[in-house]
Amino acid sequence: MKTFAPKINVPIIFSVILLGCLASVAAQAFRGEKIQLEGKLQDSLNHVLETSTLIQEAFYNQDEGQIESNTRKVLVDLRKAQNNTINEKINGMHIERILEVVRNHLAQILDATGEERKKYLRLAFDQVVHIAQTYKLNSYRIFYCQSSDGIWLQKSFKAQNPYNPQTLGNCGIPVR
């Protein structure tokens, strides 16, 4: 008597498992829950958020030396965080791409001036805030100012607008 073993299509099984995992993450995000990360990646992203607040403070205080030095610190932290995305199977690629965008925009800040510099800061902070709102990381205050059309994260409770500190320094409302 012959017995037939069913053929197992590994790529299809892998795809189904991957879709199930992604659906779980998507459902978590849909419910407004932040996504949990593990170990080194979580630590390195927390460090990116921490050093990003130093850039916000430097721009608010209009301290050119600190803007450059803190931007360079964040660029180093971003590279370390990107290296840690390799071990994050589900969200690693997404996070790595966001970090690359942030890194590119921050690198542009070092060579830009005036409105162009504010544009790159705004683009970088858009992505940093996205990370802070999506993943379970240390908590920072997130502010938005409609007049400067900018969002940022900071440590203090009072808005300190990094985009136009002279004229709109106090402009900003807390964002969830």
Q: Which amino acid is at 5?
A: A
pLDDT averaged per 10 residues in sequence order, the chain, 176 residues? 60 58 51 85 96 97 96 97 90 95 97 94 97 95 95 95 94 91
The pLDDT value recorded for residue 32 is 74
The pLDDT value recorded for residue 16 is 58
The pLDDT value recorded for residue 11 is 62
The pLDDT value recorded for residue 3 is 59
The pLDDT value recorded for residue 4 is 59
Which tokens belong to 10? 């590994």
Q: How far apart are CA 51 and CA 73, in angstroms?
A: 7
pTM of the model: 0.80
Nearest to 54 by CA among 156, 150, 134, 130: 156
The pLDDT value recorded for residue 92 is 92
Contact 70, 51 (CB under 8 A): yes
